[in-house]
Amino acid sequence: MTTTVGSYLATRLSEVGIENHFVVPGDYNLALLDKLQAHPKLEEVNCSNELNCSFAAEGYARSKGVAAVVVTFSVGAFSAFNGIGSAYGENLPVILIAGSPNTNDSIDHNLLHHTIGTHNFDYEFEMAKKITCAAVQIKHAKDAPSLIDFAIRECLAKKKPCYIEVPTNMSTQSCALPGPIEGVLYQSPSEPKTLTAAVDAANKLIGSRLKPTLLAGPKLKSAGAEKAFLRLAEALGCAVAVLPAAKSLFPEDHPQYAGVYWGNVSTKKADAILQWSDLTICAGCVFTDYSTTGWTSLQPATHRIEVDSDNVKFPDHYYGHIKLADFLDALAKKVSKNDKSVVEYQRLRPVPPAIKAAEPSAAITRQEMARQIQGIINSKTTLFAETGDSWFNGVQMDLPKGAKFEVEMQWGHIGWSVPACFGYSVGAPDREIVTMVGDGSFQMTVQEVAQMIRLKQPILIFLINNYGYTIEVEIHDGPYNNIKNWNYAALMEAFNANDGHGKGFQVKTGAELSEAIKKAKSNTRGPTLIEIQINRDDCTNELISWGHYVALANARPPIT
Ligand SMILES: Cc1ncc(Cn2nnc(CCOP(=O)(O)OP(=O)(O)O)c2C)c(N)n1
Ligand SMILES: [Mg+2]
């Protein structure tokens, strides 16, 4: 009894939890697409192009935990590489599957279409190795089971993308049947002796400091350590802040929550309490020029314990092969309560300003826009914040219990949010998705709104039209930040054609915005795009300040 390479791959994708795979067909992957589509528990989702396809898979992995994107050789894969770069930087297990030339062609020394016109067809595989944790080429059917299992196992264990190249004449070839999926899912546990040593060292250091705090980072999610982090927070009883890319990973209605720590553009005075603290346990944190506001907010190493996905770093010790959740849980069982930082935080916590509704007929402002968006966020909302001033508007939103926040701050590809929220929604149709995206970003990946119409997704898109690349303006302005304006709301008519239910509104006042939001709420058969026209310089003061420090960091002279 045997199976085929294509069916083997389909079985494995389904067994790891994938129900929808994102595709753009091409002659090198058609036979494979047939095999995937034939699987009773797999349903393909078509995308408009491979860039959006890879971002849709990246978004699906955010809601489902793992994703697959299937493209054709070179012309497809090269665009998909961008979303794979995002998955790598954002720690998301996305399986990139690329159709490739017939295995006889390299032997016959043929030149082929969809290649760079040489006899070497391995360049894509070589490139994929650089941006994935595992890359395999299936050149012989008998190797398919081991190669597919290896690539998927690495992808899931490391929470990084992998690459599986399937020649066009391989999908229908016979190969051995798959064994239990446990052989792919198995991951070695934390090394017990090292775990105990690290927890004892942490407990001792925490006990030696007066006012410890906790900082949540984005890797908490990929490590599945959010609950363990909450347990440690409640065992220690200290103030808890989150990095911007970790917003919503700790409940914002929790009495210990102290805001988003982002240097001098932090929310709720998170920067004050962390700078007051003499030790911060940083769990799953990623400190970059953007997340530290141009390196202005990184605490001294002597004040940090850095708990990463599989290791713990102290100022003077390193402990490897420890899973993040195991360490947090074991430490939660050891630490004594020390609530000094949360007591101090009660003194520092700013009273939220009461933002009054603007004059309904006045020209809409960013502040009025943010006030009204805040008003629709509920426990079922997943808020997507695109690169741009949307980052700062999004980070400042208060999230009720259950609300989630998605941002792509590591890779930062403008336009990510449109295909990503589309893919996320395929994986989590019960979530109410609200996306904040600027006009410049929207122009990059707008086509996937048409796919939202096709799948009747009631996604609400706030398109902030400030007539250009405002985030870039605040970092470093020039003529290149001016873009051609579109009639964005009118796009929905074009995308609907004769069978769609997408709605588009252009709003210039607070009254028009609240009316458009009402109509969006009743549009359950498709997406609603609300284009909000605001002044080019009407941005958050946080963007201006952050942009200033990032520009300074970019401008550092070369070290001679
Ligand atoms: C693929 C890609 N290309 C260029 C950039 C650089 N960049 N980052 N932000 C921007 C402008 C974003 O403009 P918008 O979306 O209009 O956002 P706002 O800041 O709200 O105006 C650029 C051009 C980028 N981040 N990603
Ligand atoms: Mg803009």
The answer to the question of residue 361 being in a domain is: no
- C-beta of 466 in contact with ligand 1 (< 6 A): yes
- C-beta of 408 in contact with ligand 1 (< 6 A): no
Residue 90's pLDDT is 98
- C-beta of 21 in contact with ligand 1 (< 6 A): no
Q: What is the pTM of this model?
A: 0.98
The identity of residue 285, as a single letter, is C
Which ligand gives the minimal distance to the CA of 443? 1
The answer to the question of residue 356 being in a domain is: no
Give yes or no for residue 92 having a pLDDT over 90: yes
Residue whose structure tokens are 């929470």 = 159
Residue 299's pLDDT is 87
Per-residue pLDDT averaged across 206-218, rounded? Answer: 98
Residues 6+ apart with CB under 8 A from 490: 504
58 in Cβ contact with 82 (< 8 Å):
no
The length of the chain, given as a count of residues: 560
Q: Is 6 annotated as a binding residue?
A: no
Do 149 and 18 lie in one domain? The reply is yes
Per-residue pLDDT averaged across 368-379, rounded? Answer: 98
Locate the ligand 1 atom nearest the alpha carbon of residue 439 and give its number. 16
Do 101 and 67 lie in one domain? The reply is yes
- C-beta of 223 in contact with ligand 1 (< 6 A): no
Final residue of a structural domain among 163, 183, 203: 183
Integer CA distances (angstroms), 251 to 22, 172, 240, 314, in order: 32, 49, 10, 27
- C-beta of 546 in contact with ligand 1 (< 6 A): no
Residue 388's pLDDT is 97
User: Best of 414, 482, 536 to mutate for ligand 1, by most ligand atoms within 8 A of CB?
Assistant: 414
| Pairing, β 212-216 against β 279-283 | parallel
440 in Cβ contact with 428 (< 8 Å):
no
Q: Residue 354's pLDDT band (boundaries 50, 70, 90)?
A: confident
pLDDT digits (tens, 9 = 90+) for 300-337: 999 999 999 999 999 999 999 999 999 999 999 999 99
Paired tokens of 10: 């389909």
Least confident of 116-120, 432-436, 490-494, 550-554: 550-554
The answer to the question of residue 469 being in a domain is: yes
448 Cα: distance to centroid of ligand 2 (angstroms): 19
Give yes or no for residue 445 having a pLDDT over 90: yes
Do 287 and 394 lie in one domain? The reply is no
294 Cα: distance to centroid of ligand 1 (angstroms): 18
Q: Residue 282's pLDDT band (boundaries 50, 70, 90)?
A: very high
Q: Residue 475's pLDDT band (boundaries 50, 70, 90)?
A: confident
HSE, CB side, 13 Å, CA atoms: give it for residue 456. Answer: 3
Integer CA distances (angstroms), 145 to 99, 116, 172, 178, 560, in order: 17, 30, 14, 7, 52
pLDDT digits (tens, 9 = 90+) for 58-70: 999 999 999 999 9
548 Cα: distance to centroid of ligand 2 (angstroms): 18
- C-beta of 464 in contact with ligand 1 (< 6 A): yes
Q: Is 466 annotated as a binding residue?
A: yes
Helix, strand or coil for residue 339? coil
Give yes or no for residue 121 having a pLDDT over 90: yes
In this structure, what is the dihedral angle of CA atoms 404, 410, 416, 419, given to the nearest 10 degrees?
-60
Is the ipTM higher than 0.95? The answer is yes
What's the domain range around 242?
A: 192-348
Give yes or no for residue 352 having a pLDDT over 90: no
Residue 353's pLDDT is 83
- C-beta of 472 in contact with ligand 1 (< 6 A): yes
The answer to the question of residue 556 being in a domain is: no
Number of structural domains, the chain?
A: 3
The larger pLDDT score, comparing residue 20 to residue 355, is at: 20
pLDDT digits (tens, 9 = 90+) for 4-54: 999 999 999 999 999 999 999 999 999 999 999 999 999 999 999 999 999
Q: Name the residue at shortest CA distance from atom 13 of ligand 1.
A: 469
Percent helix, strand, coil in the chain, to 5, is 40, 20, 40
Q: Residue 459's pLDDT band (boundaries 50, 70, 90)?
A: very high
Locate the ligand 1 atom nearest the alpha carbon of residue 469 and give its number. 13
HSE, CB side, 13 Å, CA atoms: give it for residue 440. Answer: 20
- C-beta of 481 in contact with ligand 1 (< 6 A): no
Beta-strand ranges (E) seen in 33-151 are 43-46, 67-71, 94-100, 134-137
The answer to the question of residue 355 being in a domain is: no
Do 479 and 456 lie in one domain? The reply is yes
Do 262 and 202 lie in one domain? The reply is yes
Residue 457's pLDDT is 98
Residue 469's pLDDT is 95
Final residue of a structural domain among 321, 348, 375: 348
Give yes or no for residue 560 having a pLDDT over 90: no
Paired tokens of 244: 């911007």
User: Which CATH number characterizes residue 381's domain?
Assistant: 3.40.50.970
Per-residue pLDDT averaged across 214-237, rounded? Answer: 98
Q: What is the mean pLDDT of the chain?
A: 97
- C-beta of 389 in contact with ligand 1 (< 6 A): yes
In this structure, what is the dihedral angle of CA atoms 441, 445, 449, 450, given to the nearest 10 degrees?
150
Residue 221's pLDDT is 98
Of all residues in the chain, the percent with pLDDT exceeding 90 is 96
The answer to the question of residue 353 being in a domain is: no
- C-beta of 446 in contact with ligand 1 (< 6 A): no
55 Cα: distance to centroid of ligand 2 (angstroms): 21
Do 17 and 155 lie in one domain? The reply is yes
Neighbours of ion ligand 2 (CB under 5 A): 438-440, 466, 470
The identity of residue 122, as a single letter, is D
DSSP annotation of 210? S
Locate the ligand 1 atom nearest the alpha carbon of residue 413 and give its number. 26
Do 172 and 283 lie in one domain? The reply is no
Do 278 and 370 lie in one domain? The reply is no
- C-beta of 528 in contact with ligand 1 (< 6 A): no
Do 325 and 437 lie in one domain? The reply is no
Residue 93's pLDDT is 98
pLDDT digits (tens, 9 = 90+) for 148-179: 999 999 999 999 999 999 999 999 999 999 99
Of all residues in the chain, the percent with pLDDT exceeding 70 is 100
- C-beta of 470 in contact with ligand 1 (< 6 A): yes
465 Cα: distance to centroid of ligand 2 (angstroms): 6
The answer to the question of residue 559 being in a domain is: no
Q: Residue 377's pLDDT band (boundaries 50, 70, 90)?
A: very high
Cα separation, 21 vs 19, whole angstroms: 7
Do 166 and 278 lie in one domain? The reply is no
551 Cα: distance to centroid of ligand 1 (angstroms): 15
Q: According to the 3-state scheme, what is the secondary structure of 148-201?
A: HHHHHHHHHHHCCCEEEEEECCCCCCEECCCCCCHHHHCCCCCCHHHHHHHHHH
User: Which CATH number characterizes residue 284's domain?
Assistant: 3.40.50.1220
Give yes or no for residue 474 having a pLDDT over 90: no
The answer to the question of residue 66 being in a domain is: yes
Locate the ligand 1 atom nearest the alpha carbon of residue 414 and give its number. 26
DSSP letters, 123-153, are HHHHHHHHSSSEEEE--SGGGHHHHHHHHHH
409 Cα: distance to centroid of ligand 1 (angstroms): 12
Q: Is 468 annotated as a binding residue?
A: yes
Cα separation, 216 vs 211, whole angstroms: 17
Give yes or no for residue 462 having a pLDDT over 90: yes
pLDDT digits (tens, 9 = 90+) for 248-267: 999 999 999 999 999 999 99
Final residue of a structural domain among 155, 183, 211: 183
52 in Cβ contact with 448 (< 8 Å):
yes
Cα separation, 270 vs 260, whole angstroms: 6
Do 340 and 489 lie in one domain? The reply is no
469 Cα: distance to centroid of ligand 2 (angstroms): 4
Q: Is the dihedral of CA 239, 240, 241, 243 positive or negative?
A: positive
453 in Cβ contact with 491 (< 8 Å):
no
In this structure, what is the dihedral angle of CA atoms 437, 249, 410, 428, given to the nearest 10 degrees?
-60
Do 319 and 287 lie in one domain? The reply is yes
220 Cα: distance to centroid of ligand 1 (angstroms): 27
